[in-house]
Structure formats: C-alpha cells, structure tokens
Amino acid sequence: MERADIEKLAELARIEITDATIDEVTRSITEVLQLVDQLQTADTQGVEPMAHPLDAVQRLRSDTVTETDQHAAFQNLAPAAEAGLYLVPKVIDQSDLIGTVE
C-alpha cells in the first residue's frame, strides 16, 4: 500500500492519521496484507469448514419465558412514559442536519 492509499482510507474512515505516524501505519497495513496473501496460498482443498476449532457443542435451552413481565413497574420508574413508550428529550434536531451530508 502506498501512503496516498492510507490517506484516502483514513479520510473515508473519518480517522486522523498524523504525518508522524502515517509511515508506520502504512508499513503495518502492508504487513497485514502480506500475511493475508501468505494465508491465501495455503492448500485448503478437502478441508471441511468449521465453526470452532475445538469441536465445541453449543448447549441449547428451551425457548420459554423464565421471568415475569415487569413492563408496568419499569414504566413507573421512568421520568416520562406515555402509551407504553419511554419519552426522552430530543437530542438531534433534523434542521441541524440540513446541509451536513455531502
């Protein structure tokens, strides 16, 4: 990967990579990609896919309700509730978003 590629990726990911660290980040990502390339060369013909390397078995339980309905009690604890919904203060005004999306 080239420095310009990393700069573009940082821009797309909305992360800041300083000039002091961009060379290190470029080198690290290149090393990871080389490792992936090395893994791609492994012969996996005839290897069965697995979900877990230790043959673990997931314990299942029956899909039954084990707790009582406490919805009304929780609604009573809420600072504001109406028609079974919790009311919260508005934190984002849609008019604030106009013009911010490119």
Does residue 73 have a pLDDT over 90? Answer: yes
Task: Give the mean model confidence (pLDDT) for residues 46-61.
Answer: 83
Q: pLDDT above 90 covers what percent of the chain?
A: 62
Distance CA 60, CA 80 (A): 38
Say whether pLDDT at 100 is over 60: no
The whole-number pLDDT of residue 32 equals: 95
The set of residues, in sequence order, having a beta carbon less than 8 Å from that of 81 and lying 6+ positions away, is: 75, 87
Per residue in 15-51, pLDDT (tens digit) is 999 988 999 999 999 999 999 999 999 999 998 888 7
